[in-house]
Amino acid sequence: MELLKIDLNCIKNTYKKRPCDSNKGTHGHALLIAGSSNKMGAAIIASKACLRSGVGLLTVAFYPENKSVLFNSIPEAMYANSCVMNDLSPYQAIGIGPGIGVDEISLQYIYQLYENKLPVVFDADALNLIANYKIDWNNFNFPFVLTPHPKEFDRLFGEHDSESERRSIAIQKAAALNCVIVLKGHKTFITDGIHTFENTTGNSGLAKGGSGDALTGMITSFLAQGYTTLEATKLGVYLHGLAADITLETQSEESMLITDVIENIGLAFKHLNSKIQ
């Protein structure tokens, strides 16, 4: 199977310019299920990255005691308590997992997705819950994306000795589960079981806690805006890495924070737009 590069040429064909006569409804409403008492940072990071990637509206669901943390850091986001799962009609896409923990309460979020039809990004603790509780994939009758790092991948699909082994299992699993798998790392690999892609952007400044949480917010944002699962993952992975590369103009790999990278998502879009005109 040919390994295609996710580079500017590839992304130029995927990205759709924002129409000048659009409104917030045009760009979708994303739901992020993220954060818990010790890991609200994951929810804040994912939410900021989601909003910086163009979504029209964002609602974040988490434990109610942490409401003020969200409002103080991101006034643009709306809050919903866990009952949100009873009515998913306002949303166009769901991202679940960053910082939610692996307890029984978080497990309920996974169960409540069974009737859902919206596209879903499963990341971090959502992947760990699926692995720990041996959730049957047949319950997921909606388009979905899995974004594991190598350790999460092995928890889901068994221990592997090498990246090339993981890549070939990822292709098989994506085909069998009818989903997109994003195997994260230095050169992130994406597959839908039919095509395979390798990202060309990003640097080791991303090798820090929270970088993956930002990626989840970005992919969820693109799904809510109407991109397919494969398009949203390609765009998210490429722009996440490009924003990190742009951050190297003012920071080093050592000093870079994921919040710096999120602030540079705008320059990454500008770079992309300048190559399209």
Ligand X SMILES: NC(=O)C1=CN([C@@H]2O[C@H](COP(=O)(O)OP(=O)(O)OC[C@H]3O[C@@H](n4cnc5c(N)ncnc54)[C@H](OP(=O)(O)O)[C@@H]3O)[C@@H](O)[C@H]2O)[C@@H](O)CC1
Regarding 217 and contact with ligand ADP (CB under 6 A), the answer is no
What are the φ and ψ backbone dihedral angles of 4, each rounded to 5 degrees? -90, 145
CA-wise closest residue to 210 among 189, 238, 240: 240
The answer to whether 188 is annotated as binding is yes
Return residues touching ligand X (CB under 6 A): 39, 41-42, 98-99, 124-125, 149-152, 185, 209-210, 212-213
**Binding to Mg ion, residues 109-168 (CB under 5 A):** 124
Measured between alpha carbons, how far is 10 from 252 in angstroms, rounded to an integer?
A: 28
Residue span binding ligand ADP (CB under 6 A) among the ranges 49-57, 62-70, 84-92, 203-211: 203-211
From candidates 211, 225, 229, 247, binder to ligand ADP by CB under 6 A: 211
As measured in angstroms, the least distance from the Cβ of 212 to Mg ion is 3
35 labeled binding residue: no
Q: 152-178 burial by CB neighbour count: b if 16+ within 10 A, else e?
A: bbbebbeebeeeeebbebbbebbeeee
- Which DSSP symbol is given to 57? E
**DSSP state, 161?**
S
158 is in an annotated binding site: no
Which parts of 137-156 interact with ligand ADP (CB under 6 A)? 149
What whole-number distance in Å separates Cα of residue 225 and Cα of residue 28? 5
Query: Which of 143, 193, 212, 217 contacts Mg ion by CB under 5 A?
Result: 212
Element (H, E) at 6: strand 3-6
With contacts defined by CB under 6 A, how many residues of the chain interact with ligand ADP?
Answer: 17
Number of helices (H) and strands (E) in the chain: give both, helices first. 11, 10
Q: Rounded to an integer, what distance in angstroms lies between the CA atom of residue 4 and that of residue 164?
A: 15
42 carries a ligand binding annotation = yes
Beta carbons within 8 Å of 155's beta carbon, 6+ residues apart: 127, 128, 131, 132, 148
Site string for ligand ADP, 149-188 (x = CB under 6 A): x----------------------------------xxx-x
**Minimum distance from CB of 14 to ligand X (Å)?**
24
184 is in an annotated binding site: yes
Residue whose CB is nearest to ligand ADP in the complex, by number: 212
The answer to whether the annotation marks 213 as part of a ligand binding site is yes
Known binding residue 149? Answer is: yes
Q: What is the dihedral of CA 171, 174, 175, 176, to 10 degrees?
A: 120
48 is in an annotated binding site: no
CA 139 – CA 115 distance, rounded (Å): 8
Residues of this chain that interact with ligand ADP (CB under 6 A) are: 124, 149, 184-186, 188, 202-204, 206-207, 209-213, 215
Binding residues: 42, 99, 149, 184-188, 212-213
* Contact set with Mg ion (CB under 5 A): 124, 212
Annotated binding site for AMP: 184-188, 212
Which residue ranges make up the annotated binding site for (6S)-NADPHX?
A: 42, 99, 149, 213
